[in-house]
Structure 1
Amino acid sequence: MKVTLISIPVRDQEEALKFYTEKLGFLKKKDEPLGGGNRWLTLVSKDWPDGPELLLEPAPNHFEPSKVYQNALKEAGIPWTQFDVDNVDSEYERLKDLGVEFSVKPTEAGTVKYAILNDTCGNYIQLVQYL
C-alpha cells in the first residue's frame, strides 16, 4: 500500500492553482472537468513528478461539514498538511518576497524547524525541515 493522492480543500480552484504553482512551485498534472464548474485538478512536486498527487478539492463549496472542519482548523491555527523542504529559512524568505503570508515564522522545535503559511484558499500549510 502507498499514498498516491492527498486532498486539500480549496474554495476557489483557479486561485488555488495559481498559488500552488506560481508561489509554491508545484506543477499541474491533471485538469479534468467534473461538471458544475468543478475540476479534477491535481499537482505534483517539481522535485518528485512521479510522486503523490495533490488534489485541489472544491469540497468546502459543496459539503458543509468540510467547510466547518476547514474553518475550525484555520481558526485554531492548525495546518491542514505539511510539506517538507530542504531549508525552511530560505523558503520563508523566497515566499515572503512573493507576498506569501505566514502565521508562524521559522521556528526550531527539537529535531525540526518549521514555518506555517496561509495558502489564501482557507488553509494553513506547515513547511518542515528536518535538522
Structure 2
Amino acid sequence: MSERRIATVALVVRDYDEAIGWYAEKLGFVLAEDADLGGGKRWVTLDPGNGGARLLLARADGERQASRIGDQTGGRVFLFLETDDFARDHAIMLAKGVSFKEEPRRETYGTVAVFADLYGNLWDLIEPKH
C-alpha cells in the first residue's frame, strides 16, 4: 500500500513578508522555503515544527482571491495547531499578542481554544487527549 499524507495547505495572504513575520513571531513557525517564481510570485512555505503539514503562503492575485483573505472557510475554524502542552503555548501566544476568541475549554477530544491569525482566519490551538 502506498503512503500518502497532506503535506502542504495553501493560505491566501495579502503580503508574503507580512505573513512570514506574523507566523514566525507569533506562532514560532520556521521559514522552510522562499523561492522567487518570477512576476512577483514566490513559493513560500512555513514549517510549524516536528512534522505535520506545511503552510504555503499564496499572495492573493486579483480581487476575487483578495476577497477571500481571512475568510477562506466562511467563518469556520480553518486550521488546527496541535501542541503537546496547551497551557505553555497558550500563555506564549497570549504574551505575543495573539487574539483568542474564547477561553480555553476541555472537550472529549482534548483542550482547545480558537484564535485568529493576522487576517482573521480562525484556528484551533489544541492539545489532543491521548
Query: Which TM bucket (shorter chain)?
Result: 0.7 to 0.9
User: What amino acid sits opposite 1:14 in the alignment?
Assistant: D
Deviations 1:25-53 (A, max 9, x none): 111111012334331100113323xx532
Q: What CA RMSD, in Å, does the superposition of the two structures yield over aligned residues?
A: 2.3
Which whole-Å CA distance do the structure 1 matches of 2:77 and 2:10 have between them?
13
Count of residue pairs the alignment pairs up: 126
User: What amino acid sits opposite 1:37 in the alignment?
Assistant: G
Which whole-Å CA distance do the structure 2 matches of 1:21 and 1:84 have between them?
16
Question: Is 2:16 the partner of 1:18?
Answer: no
Partner of 1:58: 59
Partner of 2:86: 88
Greater helix content: 1
Please, what TM-score do these two structures have when normalized by structure 1? 0.80
- Confirm or deny: 8 A CA contact 2:12 2:69 kept in the other structure: no
Go from structure 1 to structure 2 and tell me whether the alpha carbon gap of 1:13 and 1:69 turns closer, same or farther (over 3 Å shift). Answer: closer
Partner of 2:46: 43
Superposed displacement of residue 121, structure 1? 2.5
Identify unmatched segments of 5+ residues in structure 2.
Answer: none
Superposed displacement of residue 63, structure 1? 5.7
Go from structure 1 to structure 2 and tell me whether the alpha carbon gap of 1:126 and 1:64 turns closer, same or farther (over 3 Å shift). Answer: same
Go from structure 1 to structure 2 and tell me whether the alpha carbon gap of 1:57 and 1:67 turns closer, same or farther (over 3 Å shift). Answer: same
Which segments of structure 1 move beyond 6 Å, counting only runs of 4 or more? none
Which whole-Å CA distance do the structure 2 matches of 1:65 and 1:16 have between them?
16
User: What amino acid sits opposite 1:67 in the alignment?
Assistant: S
Deviations 1:60-86 (A, max 9, x none): x43615734843746x3x222111111
Please, what TM-score do these two structures have when normalized by structure 2? 0.81
Which whole-Å CA distance do the structure 2 matches of 1:37 and 1:112 have between them?
42
